[in-house]
């Protein structure tokens, strides 16, 4: 009975978010609407998504990942920890790979870091230089020219999310500085780098779900360097999140239903 109830709940969620997707597609297609992510991309772009923990890609970035895959843009995911705070690091790594399969991201495009200085924890601040090094290695190895990550508030305020932003920001600043004043053979061979950060909203907007699509559209419309990304297949995002079984406590089901990040991402270009 429990399995039947869970399946019914998942089906209800999938139907609900699919209806939301139809409404969102209509909104973004209106005249004078904000820019879609594709407006900032070219056919040769390769994107690196930098996250802190397994499940971040599904909980927060699913609209972006699915939009990129729908546009056939190569995407690579760098997960800076195994999510081992509860001793489940090995399980969570496997869950991440299963979730990425649902998101149509090949497992060979996923890198999971297990560094003593990058351990999951609500009181752990990661060294900026260590994050910067890992981002540099992954960006160079995969020849990526677009990076997407959290903003300075980390969506949920998690210190690992915030550390991820500052490490990416440090890499962006360092790479811009090196490419402009030094003759670094590796850096000079890479394409120019653009970084986008995921907007952190107020708590009210965060849990407005469908209603926040309107607010997000209006806010994004005011900036020429802001992208409004609607999830083209929200039910796939739900299926991806369901692969993270170790994390599916009751309140995460509420998050999936009510969070704006299930339906829409607002990305700002870092300057």
Pick the range with the lowest mean pLDDT from 57-71, 106-120, 124-138, 207-221. 207-221
Pick the range with the lowest mean pLDDT from 19-23, 63-67, 97-101, 141-145. 19-23
With a cut of 90, say whether residue 134 has pLDDT above it. Answer: yes
Structure confidence by residue, pLDDT tens digits, 53-100: 999 999 999 999 999 999 999 999 999 999 998 889 999 999 999 999
How far apart CA 10 and CA 7 sit, in angstroms, is 5
| Pair of tokens at residue 242 | 């369901």
pLDDT tier, 21 (very low <50, low <70, confident <90, very high otherwise): low
261, 230 contact by CB (below 8 A): no
pLDDT at 57: 98
Residues of the chain above pLDDT 90, percent:
59
How far apart CA 64 and CA 232 sit, in angstroms, is 9
pTM: 0.86
With a cut of 80, say whether residue 201 has pLDDT above it. Answer: yes
* DSSP letters for 108-141: GGEEE---TTS---TT-PPPHHHHHHHHHHHHHH
Exposure string of 120-158, with b = 16+ CB inside 10 Å and e = fewer, is beeeeebebebbbebbbebbeebebbbbbbbbebbbbeb
| Torsion angles phi and psi, residue 155, rounded to 5 | 65, -60
Which residues have CB under 8 Å from 57's CB, separation 6+? Answer: 49, 51, 65, 77, 79, 96, 99, 100, 103, 105, 240
Mean predicted lDDT score pLDDT of the chain: 85
pLDDT at 210: 77
| Pair of tokens at residue 76 | 């690579």
Which residues have CB under 8 Å from 36's CB, separation 6+? Answer: 28, 67, 227, 228, 229
Pick the closest to residue 40 from 219, 178, 193, 180 (CA basis).
Answer: 193
pLDDT tier, 31 (very low <50, low <70, confident <90, very high otherwise): very low
Note the Cα 39 to chain centre separation in Å: 18
pLDDT at 231: 86
Structure confidence by residue, pLDDT tens digits, 147-165: 999 999 999 999 999 999 9
pLDDT tier, 253 (very low <50, low <70, confident <90, very high otherwise): confident
Provide the 8-state DSSP code for 33.
Answer: P
pLDDT at 16: 58
Which residues have CB under 8 Å from 15's CB, separation 6+? Answer: 235
């Amino acid at each position: 009975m429990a399995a039947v109830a869970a399946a019914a709940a998942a089906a209800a969620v999938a139907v609900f978010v699919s209806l939301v997707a139809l409404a969102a597609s209509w909104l973004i297609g209106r005249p004078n609407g904000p820019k879609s992510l594709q407006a900032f991309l070219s056919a040769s772009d390769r994107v690196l998504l930098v996250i802190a923990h397994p499940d971040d890609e599904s909980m927060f970035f699913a609209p972006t990942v699915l939009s990129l895959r729908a546009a056939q843009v190569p995407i690579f995911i760098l997960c800076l920890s195994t999510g081992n705070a509860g001793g489940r690091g090995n399980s969570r790594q496997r869950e991440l790979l299963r979730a990425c399969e649902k998101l149509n991201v090949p497992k060979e495009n996923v890198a999971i870091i297990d560094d003593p200085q990058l351990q999951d924890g609500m009181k752990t601040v990661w060294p900026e230089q260590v994050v910067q090094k890992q981002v540099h290695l992954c960006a160079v190895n995969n020849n990526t020219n677009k990076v997407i990550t959290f903003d300075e508030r980390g969506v949920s305020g998690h210190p690992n999310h915030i550390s991820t932003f500052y490490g990416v920001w440090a890499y962006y600043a360092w790479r811009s500085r090196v490419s402009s004043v030094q003759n670094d053979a590796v850096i000079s061979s890479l394409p120019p780098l653009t970084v986008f950060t995921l907007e952190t909203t107020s708590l009210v907007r965060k849990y407005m779900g469908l209603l926040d699509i309107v607010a997000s559209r209006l806010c994004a419309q005011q900036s020429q360097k802001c992208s409004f990304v609607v999830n083209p297949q929200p039910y796939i995002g739900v299926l991806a999140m369901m692969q993270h079984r170790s994390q599916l406590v009751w309140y995460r089901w509420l998050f999936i239903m009510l969070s704006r990040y299930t339906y829409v991402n607002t990305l700002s270009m870092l300057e």
